[in-house]
C-alpha cells in the first residue's frame, strides 16, 4: 500500500508547510499531497483555501484591510467573501504564517506559506524517493485574475514547474504531460468539513 500525506503531517504542524511535509516524510509517507494556487504576480504557492481568512493571521494585518473582496464563481453559482490569495503578491504572502487554530496551541511558532518550488525541493531533498501529489485549485478563476506572460495560463505554469523540478482539468493536462492524473469530483453543494470550502473548487482542478 502507499501512504499519501494529505497536506503533510497536519495534526502536528500547520498544513501545507515545509515542516508538515518534512515530518510526514520522517513518518514514512510515500507521497506528499498539496494544493496549488497562484499569487497576484504569478508565483505558485501551496495553500488549500482560496482565501487566507481561516488559516493565517491576515486579520491582524490592518494594512491590508482594503484587500477584502467578494467574488462570484458563476460556474458554481457561489459567492465568496474574504482575502483571496490571488489578490496578494508573493512578497506579501510571505508575511503570513499558516496559523491553523487546531494546531497553533501546540505549535505556537510562525510558519510560512511555501512556494511550489519549495514543496518540490522538500521531496527531492528527502533521504529516499518521495512522490509529490499536487492538485491545482480553481484554474478558471485564477486565469481571470493573473496576467501570465506569453499567453500562458495557470496550467502551463504548473506543468513548467513540474518539468523544472525534474518530474516528468485532467483532460487538458493529459495533453501537456505524460504524468498520471487524478480528477477529483463531488457534490458541489456540500462544504468541506474543516474549511467550509465548496467542492466546486476541487472539481475544476
Catalytic residues: 6, 48
> Residues 173, 156: contact at Cβ < 8 Å?
no
Place of cell 497536519: 10
> How far is 71 from 134, CA to CA, in rounded Å?
25
**Counting runs of H as helices and runs of E as strands, what totals does the chain give?**
7, 6
16 closest CA partner among 97, 72, 128: 97
Contacts of 110 (CB under 8 A, 6+ apart): 97, 99
Secondary structure letter of residue 45 according to DSSP: E
Question: Whole-angstrom Cα distance, residue 175 to residue 36?
Answer: 19
State how far the Cα of 205 lies from the Cα of 202, in Å rounded to an integer: 5
Compute how many other C-beta atoms are within 10 angstroms of the C-beta atom of residue 39.
22
- Do the beta carbons of residue 67 and residue 137 sit within 8 Å? no
Amino acid at each position: 500500500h502507499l501512504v499519501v500525506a494529505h497536506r503533510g503531517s497536519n495534526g502536528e504542524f500547520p498544513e501545507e508547510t515545509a515542516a508538515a511535509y518534512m515530518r510526514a516524510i520522517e513518518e514514512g509517507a510515500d507521497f506528499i499531497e498539496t494544493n496549488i494556487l497562484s499569487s497576484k504576480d504569478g508565483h505558485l504557492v501551496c495553500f488549500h483555501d482560496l482565501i487566507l481568512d481561516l488559516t493565517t493571521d491576515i486579520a491582524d494585518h490592518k494594512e491590508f484591510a482594503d484587500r477584502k473582496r467578494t467574488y462570484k464563481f458563476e460556474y458554481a453559482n457561489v459567492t465568496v467573501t474574504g482575502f483571496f490569495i490571488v489578490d496578494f503578491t508573493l512578497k506579501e504572502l510571505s508575511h503570513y504564517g499558516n496559523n491553523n487554530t487546531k494546531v497553533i496551541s501546540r505549535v505556537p511558532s510562525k510558519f510560512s506559506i511555501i512556494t511550489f518550488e519549495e514543496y518540490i525541493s522538500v521531496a527531492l531533498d528527502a533521504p529516499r524517493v518521495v512522490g509529490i501529489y499536487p492538485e491545482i485549485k480553481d484554474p478558471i478563476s485564477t486565469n481571470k485574475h493573473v496576467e501570465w506572460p506569453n499567453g500562458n495560463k495557470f496550467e502551463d505554469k504548473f506543468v513548467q514547474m513540474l518539468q523544472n523540478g525534474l518530474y516528468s482539468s485532467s483532460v487538458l493536462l493529459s495533453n501537456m504531460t505524460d504524468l498520471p492524473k487524478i480528477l477529483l469530483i463531488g457534490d458541489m453543494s456540500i462544504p468541506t468539513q474543516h474549511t467550509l470550502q465548496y467542492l466546486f473548487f476541487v472539481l475544476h482542478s
